[in-house]
Amino acid sequence: MIEIKGLSFKRDSRFIFQNLEMTVAQGKITAILGPSGSGKTTLLRMIGGQLKPQYGFLKYKGKDIASMSRSELFGFRKNLGMLFQSSALFTDLNVFENVAFPLRRHTNLSRQAIRDLVLMKLNAVGLRGAASLEPSQLSGGMARRVALARAIALDPHLLLYDEPFTGQDPISMGILISLIKSLSGTLNATSLIVSHDVMETLTIADYVYVIFDGSVIGEGTPREILDSSSPKVQQFINGTRNGPVPFHLDAEDLEKQLMVVEKN
């Protein structure tokens, strides 16, 4: 469904990606793992057409997303469901209206049909009883589930998950893992998860990419990733402090920098 080839993207002089290559198989759950700051969210924004690569291409069903016209891009986004890292609920709308928003915006369904669909989506995430609540009345886990109900409101062909497990308690995390897996099968949707929560993601992924320093450093099935011989992959998977993946960004020598006397 998605093909990324020779993709390079930079901000100022710093490359976020360099010759990145990966594919997302239709109907499967593909995971992209990597340390914080490795460009995972940036990649989702590029898939959504918010950012364009300087080199290479990113295709959806053979169509280059960066070259899509405005109308083509909007049509593509109707088939795209996005679970934002921050949930991104509309604070001035209650739970029901948050989920109803894409249905009101992109369809001509009757009020009754929208009502029924919203209740069905909320029921799927276990929050039909929260329909009248305001976002400020929700816990973090509940807000994430409402955001998921909104993401699937239009039964999209492609679902993007940006750090879906961050900040979740064990029960909420277990529910989200189960929901993502079941929705992928129920909707026959293609799912792309970006995360740094390794074990949770590996339990549901069909195929995994590990990215670092702008490129893929490991790929394969979850078992193949766990058994990888790459020191970088193993350091990330096991969360070890010492290894080839540095904790600090490149910077001037600290002692030398501290010796500089600033002028008032």
Instruction: Give CA–CA dist 172/151, Å, rounded.
Output: 17
Beta bridge partners of 83: 161
Phi, psi dihedrals of residue 45, rounded to the nearest 5°:
-65, -30
**Structure tokens that stand for 22 in this block:** 């990966």
Question: CA 172 to CA 186: how far, in whole Å?
Answer: 20
223 domain-assigned: yes
Q: What is the pLDDT of residue 153?
A: 93
Q: Examine residue 201 and state whether it is found in any structural domain, yes or no.
A: yes
Is residue 189 included in any domain, yes or no?
yes
Buried b / exposed e across 87-115, counting CB within 10 Å, b at 16+? bebeeeebbbbbbbbbbeeeeeeeeeebe
Task: Say if CB 131 and CB 137 are below 8 A apart.
Answer: no
Distance between CA 241 and CA 129 in Å, rounded?
A: 44
Chain position carrying tokens 């497990």? 165
Has residue 148 been placed in a domain? Answer: no
Whether 177 and 170 have beta carbons less than 8 Å apart is answered as: no
pLDDT tier at 113 (50, 70, 90 boundaries)? very high
Q: Which domain holds residue 252?
A: 2-79+156-258
Within a domain: 110? no
Residue 252 in any domain: the answer is yes
Residue 215 has pLDDT above 90, yes or no: no
Max CA-CA distance within the chain?
A: 70
Tell me what pLDDT residue 244 has. Answer: 62
> Using one digit for the tens of pLDDT, what is the confidence trace for 147-200?
999 999 999 999 999 988 877 778 778 888 888 888 887 778 899 999 888 888
DSSP code for 39: S
227 within some domain = yes
Tell me: the pLDDT tens digits for 7-27? 999 888 788 898 899 999 999
Instruction: Report the number of distinct structural domains present in the chain.
Output: 1
Q: Confirm whether 117 is domain-assigned.
A: no
Q: What CATH number did the domain enclosing 172 receive?
A: 3.40.50.300
